[in-house]
Amino acid sequence: MKKYIISILIALSVLSCSKKEEVQPQAKKGFELSNTMLKSIELTKVEKKNIEDDYSFYGKISADKNSYIDVYPLVGGNVLSVNVELGDYVRKGQVLATIRSAELADVQKDVSDAKTDLVVAQNNLRVAKEMYEGKLNTERDVLEAKSQLQKARDQMQRAGAVSTVYNVKKGNIYSVVAPISGYIVQKNINKDMQLRNDRSENIFDVANTTNVWAIMNVNESDIDKISLGMKAQVSTLSYPNKVFNGKIDKIFKIIDPETNAMQARVVLDNQDGLLIPESKATIKVTSSENASALTVPSKAMIFDDNRSFVVAYKSRTDIKIKEIKVLKQVGDITYVSEGLSEGEQVITNNQLLIYRSLNN
């Protein structure tokens, strides 16, 4: 009987130990980034920056009016040739068109007459001096000859200046040349056209587009949001993913009664020629407030259940989800009022996959 009782006790003891082993929980392994995931993520430090505000305006690209020249014909006549078209790039001094003009004959005649008069006056002075030395005339005659020579020289100088202005070479052909290097942005001339000598309209416009202007329209309600020196980012329909940087350098204090808008100007470098005059543009300007806050890239944000989160990174085994309070979002930057410390690192790429893994 005793042996039976002992056997039962031993059996109960073994059963009890077995149950304890069954209910003992297994330790859960901590989250760790795989090598592949570690290589795919991007990190950005939390930084304190001045709070900025962005405002967007619409406008257009315009040629720099200080490098924009109207070309007028100095003579009338028949257009023999037109050597350029709209949009062509021309260099200073390049012949844009040629005109056969009777006016050039008069210019050439004036130059010829001035040369003849100068030779005659020089001879007269020489003779007057010789006669004076031979007591055949008076000193007054010599002075008169000198005066006539000076008048001939002045006339020759004037005729030469006019000839230079008209760019007279030979014959009656007048060449219209480019006054600066740039693009032909307007053309009002065709071959065989008859130009009147009293024409008041220009025949070409040449614009140097090394620098261009972005002219922005500012509604009355937004005038207080802009000021000189504000940073500006300009984009166009032609290159929507490219940003051209500049600053507001002039504000035109006049409101157009038709649009109820004021204009402001941004000067842009256009060495590569991508900004085309008259193309539409969007201009985003930025102003700074007298306050600062912690910032993270907007792409690091995760929105879930009407709350904002980021994934903070210390090491591949120390990754945490942090809820943050957003102060404001301005383009690519989000200003944070709570939830982060300066210098922390947040994940800005593939963070949503990690967020889901940590929440499961």
Q: What is the DSSP string of 307-339?
A: EEEEEEEEETTEEEEEEEEEEEEETTEEEEEES
pLDDT at 170: 63
Helices 139-165 and 103-133 cross at an angle (nearest 10°) of 160
pLDDT tens sequence for the chain (360 residues): 444 444 444 444 544 444 444 443 333 356 788 888 888 889 999 999 888 888 899 999 998 888 889 998 888 889 999 999 988 999 999 999 988 887 777 777 778 888 888 888 888 888 888 887 877 788 888 888 888 889 989 888 888 877 776 666 666 788 888 999 988 989 999 999 988 877 778 899 999 888 999 999 999 888 988 889 888 999 998 888 899 999 999 999 999 888 889 999 999 999 888 898 889 999 999 877 778 899 999 999 999 989 999 999 998 889 999 999 998 888 789 999 999 999 999 999 988 888 888 887
Percent of the chain with pLDDT strictly greater than 90: 37
Classify 239 as helix, strand or coil.
coil
Measured between its terminal Cα atoms, the distance across the chain in Å is: 57
Confidence at residue 23, expressed as pLDDT on a 0 to 100 scale: 40
Kind of pairing between the strands at 43-45 and 345-347:
antiparallel
Mapped onto helix, strand or coil, the DSSP state of residue 174 is strand
Contact between 283 and 58 under an 8 Å Cβ cutoff? The reply is yes
CA distance 107 to 163: 6
